[in-house]
């Protein structure tokens, strides 16, 4: 699926994103959801100019805004995240770029206090990796895609850091919509 598809349900969902944005309520878009958020804001979603894909674990680089977000929330970015996409997004007007990647530069954006779009998949489970690399095996032949062994090895190398980041992020994100302070945020120490 693509945020550029002409299906009615895609257009309806893209349009609906305006509701939580207007109400400043929590919205979290993962991969396709981040692309839909981008399209709602008037941004572009496009294939990589060299036909590359990100399928496997890839480096994540927080921007200065992403570093500030991590310091404020305790959600410290993992070094690598799981990806499964062949289209990327730009950072649309009204969004703040929080993290970047190498082949697909825009990896994490924030809009207002509680709307986020992540190009990557922090929700992926061990079973999902096996299912995706089996049922979507043809995509593993795309330029830039990693072989299945690297997906499985990456889980052992990176998932603990992704899980720690995700739990801290979710505490912050859900608290932002409820008006309550996040549970996992610790006070910052200053020298």
Percentage, residues of the chain above pLDDT 90: 84
The domains of the chain, with CATH numbers, are 23-178 (3.40.50.880)
pLDDT reported for residue 52: 96
- Report, as an integer, the average pLDDT of 16-35: 95
pLDDT reported for residue 189: 29
Torsion angle of the four alpha carbons 13, 14, 20, 22, in this order, in degrees rounded to the nearest 10 = -140
pLDDT reported for residue 158: 97
- Report, as an integer, the average pLDDT of 38-53: 96
Could you report the per-residue pLDDT of 79-122, keeping only the tens digit for each? 999 999 999 999 999 999 999 999 999 999 999 989 999 999 99
- Report, as an integer, the average pLDDT of 10-28: 94
pLDDT reported for residue 149: 95
| Paired residues of 54 in beta bridges | 85
Which of 150, 149, 156, 75 is closest to 108 using CA atoms?
75
Could you report the per-residue pLDDT of 168-189, keeping only the tens digit for each? 999 989 887 666 654 544 333 2
> The pTM is what?
0.90
- Report, as an integer, the average pLDDT of 61-69: 98
Residues with catalytic annotation? 31, 121, 123
Q: Using CA of residue 1, residue 159, residue 104, residue 120, what is the dihedral sign?
A: positive
């Amino acid at each position: 699926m693509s945020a550029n598809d002409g299906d009615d349900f895609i257009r309806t969902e893209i349009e609906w994103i305006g509701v939580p944005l207007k109400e400043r309520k929590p919205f979290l878009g993962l991969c396709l959801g981040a692309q839909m958020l981008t399209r709602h804001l008037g941004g572009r979603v496009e294939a990589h100019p060299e036909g590359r894909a990100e399928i496997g674990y890839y480096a994540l680089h927080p921007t200065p805004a992403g570093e500030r977000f991590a310091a404020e929330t305790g959600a410290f970015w993992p070094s690598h995240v799981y990806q499964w996409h062949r289209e990327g997004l730009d950072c649309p007007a009204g969004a703040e770029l929080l993290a970047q990647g190498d082949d697909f530069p825009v990896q994490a954006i924030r809009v207002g206090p509680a709307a986020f779009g992540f190009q990557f998949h922090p929700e992926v489970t061990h079973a999902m990796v096996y299912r995706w690399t089996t049922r979507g095996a043809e995509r593993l032949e795309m330029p830039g895609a990693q072989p299945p062994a690297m997906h499985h090895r990456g889980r052992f190398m990176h998932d603990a850091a992704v899980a720690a980041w995700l739990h801290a992020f979710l505490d912050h994100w859900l608290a932002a919509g409820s008006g309550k302070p996040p549970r996992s945020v610790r006070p910052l120490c200053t020298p």
